[in-house]
Amino acid sequence: MLSTTKIAVIGMGQGGMVAAIKLANAGAKVTIFERNLEGKVGYPWRDDITASIFDDCGLPRPNQDVYIQKAKWVFVSPDEKGTLRVPQFRPFVEISPNRRKLSEYFADLAIKAGAEIKYGVCVDKLYVEDDRVAGIELNGEIERFDLVIDATGMYSKLRSQLPEKFCVQSEPSNQDTMYAYRAFFEKNDGETFLSDVDNTMVLRHMDSDGIAWCNLNDEGNVDVLLCNIARPLSDEEIEERLKDLRAMNPILSDRKLYDRKVPLSVRAGIATPVADGYVALGDSAFMTIPIMGSGIEAGMHGAAIFADYVIANDIQNFSAYNMWPFYVKYFKKFGKGFALLDIVRRHALRFNSKLINWALSGKFVNDDTLKFVMLDDEDYRRPKYKFGMFSAILWKLIFHPSYNNTILRMGFEGIHAMNVAGTIPSKYSLDEIAKWAKRYNHLFEKCEHKAAKRQAKKK
Ligand SMILES: Cc1cc2nc3c(=O)[nH]c(=O)nc-3n(C[C@H](O)[C@H](O)[C@H](O)COP(=O)(O)OP(=O)(O)OC[C@H]3O[C@@H](n4cnc5c(N)ncnc54)[C@H](O)[C@@H]3O)c2cc1C
């Protein structure tokens, strides 16, 4: 009977809120602690997700005042000469929610489910008793909980307070972080980079190991993002890169409305997110799609799998042993694929810009190639690929003498990572998990190390 359990959710991101709503609906006494004040939770902009994520999590879809149709995107090569339009799915399959309104929507559902939200409360301390998280410490007072859900994001201060034996990684590495600068500017007269596409993303912008975007948003302003892996952007670099974006996007003025430097997690899932009395969900467990750091959906999925598992198995003793199977489920469904994408990202961000210029020049893929992606009315996420498309792409890749090594190495390492991730121990044993976590974490460290070495050699 969950009604006898007291659960603390620290952080009002999507991951924490999905778990809070589902567990409160199942009868648990849920208290949510959020350091921001009411009305100030979530970023003041829009990001993209798939609308059906709400159905997947067993939650109602929000009303249309929360989101708009996802805009059209075009990828641009580093030399700014090649382009590739991203195919669009049926209307409102992919949406752009307003992040603040999305937070309010989740808050509303949580309150209706019986949860309590405490705004303006920063929880920085776990209360650990006999190697078990038994609650939180707030202003010197201990508040006991049967379970603490850590949904405070990738730089959680709570993970490092767990007893070491649980092998929960305390910090992401710099290489696991995409350092972004996002800014909004007034619009100048003029057109977007491609006049019929509002959102433009430049790959390896100015030979950086990141991207840049320059988008005309629904409010008639210009939304800019610049990012780098592993190191924050300096103010000089931001100015230089903005100058370049202005040269290619006439709409981008220098009249800034507001800006923010923000990190994103681009690491495949943490090896283990559980300790006795504790679970990390969302970015605090690196539940993101590691190519771009998209963590809204991945975090919601992870949280829903966790809550469904707890409810279905009527878990009241939140030991690491009892909770672990949820993570095995998450890993088999998403974690394996994310391990592959993590490796792909580490390689792809170091591709020679020439490779991307070639790929987007029309000689490798073009808008026509992507038109082969047939969008199925019933299940848009399983597009019917044509064999011809795959063989044409593979042929060009494998037989391109300059690049076949790079691509094949990435493919083999990615598949190996998927296999290692797939051997996640199905039963919770600290010894087994420690051994597996070492092998799993080593995948990314080794890939990073080797890729950096190869890049340095080329320079
Ligand atoms: C520029 C940018 C663009 C992005 N674009 C996309 C996108 O298009 N699609 C996508 O899926 N993802 C995107 N993401 C990633 C996405 O924002 C995150 O992956 C996602 O928000 C993580 O959700 P979360 O619930 O784990 O945590 P968060 O959203 O990070 O929420 C954590 C919450 O915890 C609170 N908190 C933190 N510490 C404490 C504490 N000690 N006590 C109390 N409260 C605390 C914070 O205030 C916050 O409300 C983007 C991120 C950025 C920065």
| Domain boundaries along the sequence of the chain | 182-265
In which residue are the tokens 């752009």 written? 96
* Distance separating the N- and C-terminal Cα atoms of the chain: 62
Whole-number Å distance, alpha carbon 311 to ligand 1 midpoint, is 25
Average pLDDT over residues 358-365: 82
Ligand 1 geometric centre to CA of 139 (Å): 25
Please tell me the distance between residue 286's alpha carbon and the centre of ligand 1 in angstroms.
11
pLDDT value for 362:
82
Percentage with pLDDT > 70 across the chain = 93
CA-nearest residue for atom 45, ligand 1, is 11
CA–centroid distance, 131 to ligand 1, in Å, is: 29
pTM for this model (two decimals): 0.94
- Please give the number of the atom of ligand 1 that sits closest to the Cα of 16: 25
73-120 pLDDT tens trace: 999 999 999 999 988 888 899 999 999 999 999 999 999 999 999 999
Least confident of 186-200, 294-308, 375-389: 375-389
Q: Are 104 and 228 in contact (CB under 8 A)?
A: no
Residue 380 pLDDT exceeds 90:
no
Out of 40-44, 94-98, 403-407, which region has the weakest mean confidence (pLDDT)?
403-407
CA-proximal residue: ligand 1, atom 13 (nearest): 294
User: 355 is written with which tokens?
Assistant: 């490779």
